[in-house]
Amino acid sequence: MNYIDVPAEYRISKEIPISKFNSNILSESISSMTWEGSIKPEISGVAPVINDTVRYEEIQFFHCELHSRENIFSLQREIAKAIKYPCVIEFQVDDATTIGICEFRPNKSNNEENVLRAIQFSHWLHEDILSPEAKQMLDIINSAIRRQTDMKDIYHIIDNAICNWRMGGTSRAHVDRIIYDMIGNGKTKPAEIRKYCKPYEYHKVIAGVPKYGTQRREKNYSLIHDYEEIWYCLMKCPETKEVIEGRRYRGVEDLFYSIDSKGW
């Protein structure tokens, strides 16, 4: 499933051999990779931005199908290092997709080379049910691609849209408290409601080490349930969906804020 709607004039839709990257982690993790499109000045008329601070010459769009959700930060980093242009990458695992983005800065010793900075990912998206926040993010991204400003402006709008709905979540205990507030001891048990939510390991970053890239992380971790997938689970269950519609929650943030503000 492609959430990013690349206009026909920018579309490439070309499969990329993973062997081209000469990377073990890419070959082991990615089942297929498609170069979906490219915003280039000669095609789009969008101006590049190149100076001592930034280099935005082109923007590339890719779609990767993965075997699992593990190592997505490392995968984004490996691809971004190899391509040398700002990239927006969709990573799909089964029916769930996250959108990754990585900012660049010119290398101080060589302005022709880019240095990777913060990597960000959207929440995990499911095509059949999207939260209002996810729909807004996708609308902003797909609108930005069609702007006739400059490469930096377009990329920063996409980056901000992803950052505003970036990957993150909460504990299983918190999710179960939310479910209990909604349906109490209903017919459907919390574990059954949570079945579509695949928790991931959250490791705290050791102080003084960059958050992404070659960072060191603590071995101890907590399991995090993604907010978008929590919404997906709640909307898939008829009992909790009825409560969401009855209470008129405007989205994930409104749901959590409204219930949490009651106290426990």
How many residues appear in the chain? Answer: 264
Local confidence pLDDT in tens for the 264 residues of the chain: 899 999 999 999 999 999 989 899 999 999 999 999 999 999 999 999 988 778 899 999 999 999 999 889 999 989 988 888 899 999 999 999 999 998 877 666 655 555 667 889 999 999 999 999 999 999 999 999 999 999 999 999 999 999 999 999 999 999 999 999 999 999 999 999 999 999 987 766 555 444 444 444 456 778 899 999 999 999 999 999 999 999 999 999 999 999 999 875
> Which residues does 56 contact at the CB level (< 8 Å), separation at least 6?
48, 49, 50, 86, 150, 151, 152, 155
Whether the Cβ atoms of residue 174 and residue 224 lie closer than 8 Å to each other: no
Owner of token pair 């170069």: 35
Neighbours of 61 (CB within 10 A): 24
Q: What pLDDT score does 209 carry?
A: 45
- Give the closest residue to 133 by CA, choosing from 37, 257, 242: 257
Whether the Cβ atoms of residue 113 and residue 232 lie closer than 8 Å to each other: no
Neighbours of 253 (CB within 10 A): 15
- What sign does the dihedral 103-36-138-144 (CA atoms) show? positive
Q: What is the Cα–Cα distance from 162 to 100, expressed in whole angstroms?
A: 8
Pairing label, strands 125-126, 114-121: unpaired
Whether the Cβ atoms of residue 218 and residue 207 lie closer than 8 Å to each other: no
Q: What pLDDT score does 84 carry?
A: 82
How does 69-98 read in b/e, with b if 16+ C-beta sit within 10 Å? eebbbbbbbbbbeebebbbbbbbbbeebbb
Q: What pLDDT score does 103 carry?
A: 80
Domain edges within the chain: 8-164, 169-260
Whether the Cβ atoms of residue 134 and residue 125 lie closer than 8 Å to each other: yes
Determine what percent of the chain falls in helix, strand and coil, rounding each to the nearest 5: 40, 30, 30
Q: What pLDDT score does 205 carry?
A: 56
Torsion of CA 27, 28, 29, 34, to 10 degrees: 20
Owner of token pair 């902003």: 140
Pairing label, strands 217-226, 200-205: antiparallel
